[in-house]
Amino acid sequence: MRLRLFFLAHAALLLLIQNGHAESFRSVKMPRFERVSFHDVRSPLPFDDGLDAQRDELRAAVDHSIEYLRSEDAHSSYERFRREGLSREQMLISLERFRELLLSPLSGKELQEQVRREFDLLYPADAERSVKFTGYFQPTYEASLTPTDTFRYPIYQTPPDFASWPLPHPQRVSLEGFEGRGVPQSPLYGFELAWLKSRWEAYMIHVQGSAILQLQGEPGKQLSIRYDVGTKKPFRGIPRSFLLTHGISWTRLPQYFDEHPHQLNYLLSRNDRFILFAKNETPAPLGSLGVPVIAERSIATDKTLLPPGALGLIRTTIPYVSKAGEIYYKNT
C-alpha cells in the first residue's frame, strides 16, 4: 500500500507540518481531494534545498506532529474532520515512514526520489489550487505585571468561567474599553496577565498568538505567553485601504499609531475577535495543535478543512532581511 503525502496549494516545495493557529468563522466549501502519483502531476514539484542543511528542524516538526496525532486531541479532531481517505491513522503512518527516511543516510536528492516512489499526493481536486500565505513571528516586548503610567495596556488570561459565557460573546469594547486600557464592568476585569507599553504591541500579541515578555523591574526575567482561547467573533484586521488612504506602509504603522492613537482605537473597535492567553512553560511558540512550531516548517490551517498534523508540500515566496537591513524575497 502506498503511503500518502498531503499536498497543499498549487505546487510543492517545502515539506511542512501543519501546526499553527488558524480558525475560521466563514462558511467555506469543503475541498475534495484527489489521490495522484508524483509522476502524474504536470507542474514540477521540486523539494527545497534545506532537506540536507535543515534536516534536524524538519525532523523536529515531524516529531511534533506525530506526538499530536497520537494524542486524544487528535482522535477528537479527526472525529469532527471525517473525510474519506484522510484518516488519523493514515496521516500517522505517512509521518512515521517519512521520519524513518529522514533518519536514514540518504542524501537530500536520494530522499526526494524515495518519497516520490513511496508516497502519493492528495491534491485539492475542486479548488483553485492557490492559497494566500501570511507570516507569523513571536514578538518580544517589555511588559509589567502591574499597571503603571508607562505600562497601561493589558492582555488577559482566560477566566475560569469562560466556557459558560453565553453566546454571542461580548464585543471588544465591552471587554477592554474603547482605548484598550480595561473597564471595571468587563468580565475580564481582574484577569490581567500583564500590561504593555502601547496598544499596538498588545494588538500584535493578539494577532501573532504568542509573545516573550521582558518584565520591567526584574532584569533578565521573561514571561512566555501563548494563545489559549478566543471569542467566537469574526476577526477584522487593518484594511489595506487604510494604508493607501493615509499613505503609509506596514512598517510605519507602529510609529503612525503612536502619533495617532485614536485611529487605532477606532480600527480595533470594529474588530470584535478577542484573544485570551496562558503562560507558556517553554519559550517556544505553540501552535493550535498544542506542540511547538518550527520556523519555515510549520503552517497554520483550518482544521475543519484540512487534515490536522498532516505532511504537506507547498510553494510560496518568503521575505528575508539582509545584513544591511533590506528586504528581499526568495521563492521556496
CATH number of the domain at 206, please.
2.40.240.50
One domain, residues 274 and 303: no
H runs (alpha helix) in the chain: 50-53, 55-69, 72-81, 88-103, 108-118, 172-176, 199-208, 240-246, 253-259, 261-269
Between residues 217 and 52, the one the model is more confident about: 217
> Where does residue 279 fall: left (phi above 0), alpha (psi -120 to 50 degrees), or beta otherwise?
beta
Residue whose C-alpha cell is 519555515: 296
Looking at the structure, tell me whether residues 262 and 157 fall in a common domain.
yes
CA distances from 201 to 212, 290, 306, 310, 323 (A): 12, 24, 31, 33, 25
Helix, strand, coil distribution of the chain in percent, nearest 5: 30, 20, 45
pLDDT at 45: 56
- Boundary of a domain, candidates 279, 297, 313: 279
Instruction: Average the pLDDT over 26-34 and give the result.
Output: 59
Predicted local confidence at residue 3, as pLDDT: 52
> What are 102's three cell numbers?
529522514
- When divided into structural domains, the chain yields a total of 2
Q: What cell does 180 get?
A: 484598550
Mean pLDDT of 197-202: 98
The CA distance from 168 to 234, in Å, is: 11
| 35/114 same-domain check | yes
Looking at residue 216, the DSSP 8-state letter turns out to be T
pLDDT on residue 31: 64
Identify the band that residue 8 occupies on the pLDDT scale cut at 50, 70 and 90: very low
Which DSSP letter does residue 129 get? S
Do 163 and 190 share a domain, yes or no? yes
Asked whether the predicted pLDDT for residue 122 surpasses 90, the reply is no
Cell 494563545 -> residue:
227
User: What is the pLDDT at residue 29?
Assistant: 58
The answer to whether the beta carbons of residues 136 and 208 sit under 8 Å apart is yes
Cut 0.75: pTM above it: no
C-alpha cell of 175?
471587554
Grid cell digits, residue 303: 482544521
- Indicate if 112 and 207 belong to the same structural domain: no
Stretch (H or E) spanning 274: none
The pLDDT of residue 46 is above 60 = no
Angle at 59 between CA 55 and CA 62, to 5 degrees: 140
pLDDT at 312: 82
Residues 171 and 267 in one domain: yes
Same domain, 64 and 190: no
Nearest Cα to 278, choosing from 202, 198, 214, 191? 191
Q: Tell whether 210 and 238 lie within a shared domain.
A: yes
**CA separation for the pair 131, 112 (Å, rounded):** 24
Whether residues 127 and 156 fall in one domain = no
Domain span at 16: 3-133+287-331
**Contact (Cβ atoms closer than 8 angstroms) between residue 311 and residue 94:** yes
Does residue 281 register a pLDDT over 50? Answer: yes
Is the same domain home to 155 and 263? yes
The single residue listed with the C-alpha cell 534545506 is 50
Residues 213 and 171 in one domain: yes
What's the burial of 228, exposed, middle or buried (CB within 10 Å: 0-12/13-18/19+)? middle
More confident residue, 269 or 75: 269
pLDDT one-digit tens code per residue, 233-247: 999 999 999 999 999
For residue 18, what are the β-bridge partners?
299
Assess whether 69 and 149 both reside in one domain: no
